[in-house]
């Protein structure tokens, strides 16, 4: 459990020590904790007492050359109420401003008094926590957050239930829903995209107690898939989603970026927060080692870790550097989101490379016009494909997984591309050595888990581990398995189901191995922890994003 005195959301704020020299800061409104406030002197006119001897004369404004009109009416008695008001006008101005802010700016009122409202209103007996019976002072006993992950493959909702047994939120429940396809599939039909989320929001209506509907924040975060549609189309879809939420559902939308395309940096950092939060790496004043995370989606892949300091340095300046403070401890993270290297986009890159660098047919396969031999597909498999140049072609499997397929996959990482800032991982992107500077565990999830677990311990085992060498061995077995009917996997119904489901399984596993070993440079002997869930909760960015919402906006709504 995270210590009470420090908000979890501070994890997501950049460290002030890096503000001046990190011009590419990811936080658009950083809080500079080192800034100083310059005191200003107030010059208040001295008002003489009515009976004081030789009172100082009040200068004539006109005689002083002041633009103020000279007064010709009857002089006021010195020390009158009007004189007092004039002399103290700065204080009265401040009072008027504060009163206006209180009355006319609702969120100021909320921030000042919402905690008291939480504490003063009676809490319903039927809304309980399994962890405690009484809320921390000024907090609700239970708080829900609705987080919609609008990914490239589909949209998912997490209805998270938190308690406030302590000052900071503790996760105690998650109701999950999923729909396909993703928002990016509704190109040209923004209203249809918005309606596609109804099933998810209806689940939230049933899960969250009615009493808490108007105080349960909702956020819809689209990831890389929607980014690829372009700004205009994605904005139209997001605007339709917002209208649908506002007109149909009672949940308040998170104020800042509540319905938006999530920045790749935030996606990775939120995932890093999720995993380390669930592993309890933040629950102590003494800094604990943190784990690295690798996330593989459909359109992009993220890497986030805290490199070991070498010669006084850990991460060079730039957008990849993400400093943050928590519990008095400073974390300097490396993060990068590789757009185009998610599983689905990687398939497209490999297929385009096959077309651009044609191979000779083998295994008796005869190629026709606009047909190309594909070494990562089983012999005789035929797939229609539209190239990056919008050409319709056919990919024909010739199954050469250990040589030509491996070479085709490794080619898309462009390891020989110019590296402007050394060292680089792949495609010319700067990255400290993951193996040499990430001393603790490496956690990999999403497609990393989904495509390997069925052939290892099964998907029901939600946390497993493999060395990179074992992933290579598994890849080889799958890729040559079509030659004997996959005899190695006949004893596993789940593995056989996975093999029959997609002809791309060899290419996908070859890409995963290539990304880990060739791309990120992780040695074959090093273990990677493959996790779908930790302590019953999904890995990924959604828990971290929800914690940030609670810490910044837990008072959203007015029903409590």
What residues are labeled active site? 267
The pairing of strands 463-467 and 527-531 is antiparallel
**In terms of DSSP H, where are the helices of 418-541?**
434-437, 447-452, 468-480, 493-501, 505-513
- Measuring CA to CA, which residue among 504, 182, 184 is closest to residue 350? 504
Rounded to whole angstroms, the Cα distance separating 276 from 292 reads 9
52 labelled ligand-binding = no
Distances (CA, A) of 7 to 13, 169, 547, 552: 11, 9, 9, 9
Place of tokens 């396809």: 181
The answer to whether the annotation marks 298 as part of a ligand binding site is yes
Place of tokens 């209203």: 191
Contact 159, 175 (CB under 8 A): yes
Integer Cα distance of 29 and 46 in angstroms: 42
Q: SS3 for 187-244, per residue?
A: CCCHHHHHHCCHHHHHHHHHHCCHHHHHHCCEEEEECHHHHCCCHHHHHHHHHHHHHH
Determine contact, residues 150/229, Cβ cutoff 8 Å.
no
Residue 392 marked ligand-binding: no
φ, ψ for residue 174, nearest 5 deg:
-150, 120
Report whether the peptide linkage leading into residue 25 is cis, meaning its omega lies within 30 degrees of zero.
no
Tell whether residue 299 is among the known ligand binding residues.
yes
Q: 397: part of which helix (H) or strand (E)?
A: strand 392-397
Are 278 and 2 in contact, with CB atoms under 8 Å apart? no
Query: Binding site annotation covers 542?
Result: no
List Cβ neighbours of 20 (8 Å cut-off, separation of 6 or more): none
Max distance between CA atoms of the chain, in angstroms, equals: 119
Q: Which residues are annotated as a binding site?
A: 298-302
Q: Which residues are annotated as a binding site for ATP?
A: 298-302
């Amino acid at each position: 459990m995270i210590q009470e005195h420090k908000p979890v959301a501070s994890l997501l704020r950049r460290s002030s020590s890096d503000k001046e020299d990190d011009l590419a800061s990811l936080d658009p409104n950083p809080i500079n904790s080192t800034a100083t406030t310059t005191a200003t002197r107030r010059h208040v006119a001295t008002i003489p007492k009515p009976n004081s001897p030789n009172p100082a004369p009040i200068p004539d404004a006109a005689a002083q050359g002041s633009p103020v009109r000279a007064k010709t009416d009857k002089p006021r008695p010195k020390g009158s109420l009007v004189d007092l008001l004039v002399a103290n006008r700065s204080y009265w101005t401040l009072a008027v401003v504060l009163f206006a802010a209180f009355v006319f700016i609702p969120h100021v009122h909320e921030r000042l008094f919402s905690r008291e409202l939480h504490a003063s209103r009676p809490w319903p007996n039927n809304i309980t926590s399994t962890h405690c019976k009484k809320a921390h002072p000024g907090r609700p006993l239970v708080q829900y957050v609705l987080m919609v992950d609008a990914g490239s493959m589909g949209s998912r909702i997490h209805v998270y239930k938190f308690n406030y047994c302590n000052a900071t939120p503790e996760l105690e429940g998650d109701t999950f829903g999923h729909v396909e396809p993703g928002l990016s599939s509704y190109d040209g039909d923004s209203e249809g995209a918005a309606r596609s989320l109804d099933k998810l929001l209806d689940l939230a209506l049933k899960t969250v107690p009615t009493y808490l509907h108007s105080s349960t924040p909702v956020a819809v975060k689209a990831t890389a898939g929607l980014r690829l549609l372009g700004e205009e189309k994605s904005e139209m879809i997001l605007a339709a989603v917002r209208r649908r939420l506002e007109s149909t559902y009672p949940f308040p939308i998170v104020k800042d970026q509540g319905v938006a395309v999530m920045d790749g940096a935030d996606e990775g950092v939120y995932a890093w927060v999720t995993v380390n939060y669930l592993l309890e790496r933040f629950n102590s004043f003494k800094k604990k080692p943190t784990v690295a995370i690798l996330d593989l989606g459909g359109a992009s892949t993220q890497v986030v870790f805290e490199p070991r300091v070498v010669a006084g340095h850990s991460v060079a300046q730039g957008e990849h550097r993400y400093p943050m403070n928590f519990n008095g401890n400073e974390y300097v993270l490396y993060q990068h989101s590789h757009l185009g290297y998610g599983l689905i986009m990687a398939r497209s890159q490999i297929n385009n490379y096959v077309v651009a660098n044609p191979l000779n047919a083998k295994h008796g396969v005869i190629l026709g016009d606009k047909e190309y031999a594909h070494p990562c597909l089983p012999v005789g498999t035929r797939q229609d494909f539209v190239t990056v140049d919008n050409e319709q072609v056919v990919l024909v499997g010739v199954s050469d997984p250990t040589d030509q397929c491996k070479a085709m996959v490794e080619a898309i990482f462009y390891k020989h591309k110019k590296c402007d800032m050394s060292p680089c991982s792949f495609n010319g992107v700067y990255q400290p050595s993951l193996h040499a500077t990430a001393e603790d565990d490496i956690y990999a999830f999403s497609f990393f888990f989904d495509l390997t677990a069925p052939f290892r311990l099964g998907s029901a085992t939600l946390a497993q581990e493999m060395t990179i060498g074992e992933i290579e061995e598994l890849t080889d077995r799958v890729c040559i398995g079509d030659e004997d009917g996959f005899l190695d996997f006949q004893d596993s119904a789940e593995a056989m189901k996975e093999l029959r489901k997609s002809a791309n399984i060899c290419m996908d596993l070859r890409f995963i191995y290539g990304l880990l070993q060739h791309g990120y440079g992780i040695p074959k002997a090093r273990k990677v922890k493959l996790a779908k869930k930790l302590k019953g909760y999904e890995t990924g960015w959604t828990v971290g994003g929800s914690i940030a919402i609670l810490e910044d906006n837990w008072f959203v709504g007015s029903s409590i």
